[in-house]
Structure 1
Amino acid sequence: MTVALRGLSTVVPPTVLIQEEVRDVFAGQPGLNRLAQRIVATSFNVSGIDTRHTVLAELSRDMRPDEPVFFDIARMELLLPGTKARNELYAEHATTMYLDAGRAAIDATPGVEASDITHVITVSCTGFYAPGPDYVIARDLGLGADVERYHLGFMGCYAAIPALRIAKQLCEADAAAVVLVVSVELCTLHLRSSNDPDTIVASSLFADGAGSGIVTALPLEPGERAFDLDRFATRITPDGEGDMAWKIGDHGFEMVLSNAIPSIIDEHITGALQPLFAHDPALADALATDASSGAVEHWAIHPGGRSILDKVESRLRLTEAQLLPARETLRDFGNMSSATVMFVMRNILDSDAAADGDRVAAMAFGPGLTVESSLMTVRG
Structure 2
Amino acid sequence: MAGAEHPLLSTEIVNRGIEPSGPDAGSPTFSVRVRRRLPDFLQSVNLRHVKLGYHYLINHAVYVTTIPVLVLVFSAEISSLNREEIWRRLWVEARYDLATVLAFVGMLVFSISGYFMSRPRPIYLVDFACYKPSDDLKMSKQEFIEQARKSGKFDEPSLEFQQRILKFSGIGDETYVPKSVMAPGNCATMKEGREEATAVIFGAMDELFEKTRIRPKDVGILVVNCSLFNPTPSLSAMIVNHYKMRSNIISFNLGGMGCSAGIIALDLAQDMLQSNPNNYAVVVSTEMVTFNWYTGRNRSMMIPNCYFRMGCSALLLSNRRRDRRLAKYKLEHIVRTHKGADDRSFRCVIQEEDEDQKKGLTISRDLVEVGGQALKANITTLGPLVLPFSEQLIFFATLATRFLFGAGEVSKPYIPDYKLAFEHFCIQAASKSVLAELQRNLELTDDNLEAARATLHRFGNTSSSSIWYEMAYLEAKEKVRRGDRVWQLAFGSGFKCNSAVWRSLRRVKKPARNPWLDSLERYPAAIME
Deviation digits for residues 251-299 of structure 1 (CA, Å, limit 9, x no counterpart): 7641223465344434542322122232345177398634353321111
2:175 to 45, 52, 56: 52
Matched, 1:107 2:210: yes
Q: Distance in 1 between matches of 2:417 and 2:277?
A: 34
Contact kept in structure 1, 2:263 and 2:498, CA below 8 Å: yes
Q: Distance in 1 between matches of 2:498 and 2:298?
A: 28
How much does 1:148 deviate? Answer: 1.4
Which secondary structure does the structure 2 equivalent of 1:140 belong to? helix
- Counterpart for residue 29 of structure 2: none
Count of aligned residue pairs for this structure pair: 358
Q: Describe how 1:141-152 pairs up with structure 2 within 5 A.
A: 141-152=243-254
How much does 1:204 deviate? Answer: 0.9
Q: Distance in 1 between matches of 2:141 and 2:311?
A: 16
Contact kept in structure 1, 2:124 and 2:324, CA below 8 Å: no
Distance change (3 Å), C-alpha of 1:352 and 1:137:
same
Which secondary structure does the structure 2 equivalent of 1:319 belong to? coil
Matched, 1:169 2:271: yes
Q: Describe how 1:323-342 pairs up with structure 2 within 5 A.
A: 323-342=449-468
2:446 to 313, 320, 326: 320
Deviation digits for residues 182-211 of structure 1 (CA, Å, limit 9, x no counterpart): 122122433234432222221110111110
- Counterpart for residue 426 of structure 2: 300
Q: Distance in 1 between matches of 2:153 and 2:324?
A: 59
Q: Describe how 1:198-347 pairs up with structure 2 within 5 A.
A: 198-219=300-321, 224=326, 226-237=328-339, 238=342, 239-247=344-352, 253-258=359-364, 260-282=366-388, 285=392, 289-347=415-473
Distance change (3 Å), C-alpha of 1:360 and 1:252:
farther
- Counterpart for residue 94 of structure 1: 197
- What is the letter of the counterpart of residue 187 of structure 1? V
Matched, 1:9 2:114: no
How much does 1:101 deviate? Answer: 1.8
Task: Please tell me the root mean square deviation across aligned C-alpha atoms, in Å.
Answer: 2.8
Q: Distance in 2 between matches of 1:248 and 1:192?
A: 10
Q: Distance in 2 between matches of 1:270 and 1:219?
A: 35
Deviation digits for residues 231-259 of structure 1 (CA, Å, limit 9, x no counterpart): 11111345533332334678764122346
TM-score w.r.t. structure 1 length? 0.84
Distance change (3 Å), C-alpha of 1:154 and 1:30:
closer
- What is the letter of the counterpart of residue 71 of structure 1? A
1:71 to 173, 180, 183: 183
Deviation digits for residues 287-328 of structure 1 (CA, Å, limit 9, x no counterpart): 863435332111111112222212211111111111111111
Q: Distance in 2 between matches of 1:13 and 1:231?
A: 32
Contact kept in structure 2, 1:341 and 1:364, CA below 8 Å: yes
Distance change (3 Å), C-alpha of 1:145 and 1:267:
closer
- What is the letter of the counterpart of residue 501 of structure 2? L
- Counterpart for residue 225 of structure 2: 123
- What is the letter of the counterpart of residue 375 of structure 2? I
- What is the letter of the counterpart of residue 350 of structure 2? A
2:481 to 349, 355, 380: 355
Distance change (3 Å), C-alpha of 1:275 and 1:373:
same
Which secondary structure does the structure 2 equivalent of 1:158 belong to? helix
Which secondary structure does the structure 2 equivalent of 1:355 belong to? coil
Flag structure 1 segments of 5+ consecutive residues without an equivalent. 60-69, 73-78
- Counterpart for residue 75 of structure 1: none
Distance change (3 Å), C-alpha of 1:134 and 1:306:
same
Contact kept in structure 2, 1:266 and 1:312, CA below 8 Å: no
Contact kept in structure 1, 2:335 and 2:499, CA below 8 Å: yes
Flag structure 2 segments of 5+ consecutive residues without an equivalent. 1-120, 396-413, 507-529
Deviates most, 22-31 or 165-174: 22-31
- What is the letter of the counterpart of residue 95 of structure 1? T
More strand by share: 1
Which secondary structure does the structure 2 equivalent of 1:42 belong to? helix
TM-score w.r.t. structure 2 length? 0.62
Which secondary structure does the structure 2 equivalent of 1:278 belong to? helix
Which secondary structure does the structure 1 equivalent of 2:385 belong to? coil
Q: Distance in 2 between matches of 1:309 and 1:156?
A: 18
- What is the letter of the counterpart of residue 128 of structure 1? N
More helix by share: 2
Contact kept in structure 1, 2:193 and 2:288, CA below 8 Å: yes
